Amino acid sequence: MGKRVLLVDGDIAVAETVKGMLEGMGHQVRMETSGDAALAIFYRDATEFDLVITELGMPDMSGFLLIERLFKVRPNLPIILLASAEGQAQSVARGSGIQWFGLKPLSITDLARTVESALTGKHEEAGGL
């Protein structure tokens, strides 16, 4: 059965692509293009989502700040951090407690593997989405 995913990416084209990939895997996806909007939704019901996928750089707030605020409400929330540069993703992920990260451009195979790892609690690094 699909899970409930909150997808946050400031680039609407990327967000739509990832949303389509996730829905193709059977997940229910709520897509937001700003960290502020995502937080407002999350704060209404922090148990509504099984997984959050966010990018590192957004126009209104950094992915790091978004992650920090999400973890204050749900410290064990599975979050996948997406970034354009591997070193950047790994550095921020480790510094913020993120266990899963992926690299753009996205591959459906790696996205599926990373989502499965995050949802099952396995701590494998995808090395790139």
pLDDT of 129 strictly over 80: no
Residue 127 included in any domain:
no
pLDDT of amino acid 32? 95
Residue 69 sits in a domain of what CATH number?
3.40.50.2300
pLDDT of amino acid 53? 95
Secondary structure, 3-state, the chain: CCCEEEEECCCHHHHHHHHHHHHHCCCEEEEECCHHHHHHHHHHCCCCCCEEEEECCCCCCCHHHHHHHHHHHCCCCCEEEEECCHHHHHHHHHHHCCCEEEECCCCHHHHHHHHHHHHHCCCCCCCCC
pLDDT of 112 strictly over 50: yes
pLDDT of 108 strictly over 70: yes
pLDDT of amino acid 105? 79
Question: What tokens were used for 118?
Answer: 């995050």
Residue 126 included in any domain:
no
Report the C-alpha gap between 37 and 35 in whole angstroms: 5
Q: Is the pTM of the predicted complex or chain greater than 0.85? A: yes
pLDDT of amino acid 111? 92
Residue 125 included in any domain:
no
Report the C-alpha gap between 108 and 48 in whole angstroms: 24
pLDDT of 128 strictly over 50: no
Q: How far is CA 103 from CA 16, 39, 43, 47, 83, in A?
A: 16, 23, 27, 27, 5
Residue 43 included in any domain:
yes
Q: How many domains does the chain have?
A: 1
pLDDT of amino acid 29? 98
CA-only gyration radius of the chain, Å: 13
pLDDT 10s digits, 6-24:
999 998 998 999 999 999 9
- Choose among 4, 14, 98: nearest CA to 51: 4
Q: How many CA atoms lie within 13 A of 126 on its CB side?
A: 29
pLDDT of 61 strictly over 60: yes
Residue 129 included in any domain:
no
Find the domain containing 70 and state its range.
Answer: 4-120
Residue 57 included in any domain:
yes
Tell me the average pLDDT across 60-88.
Answer: 85
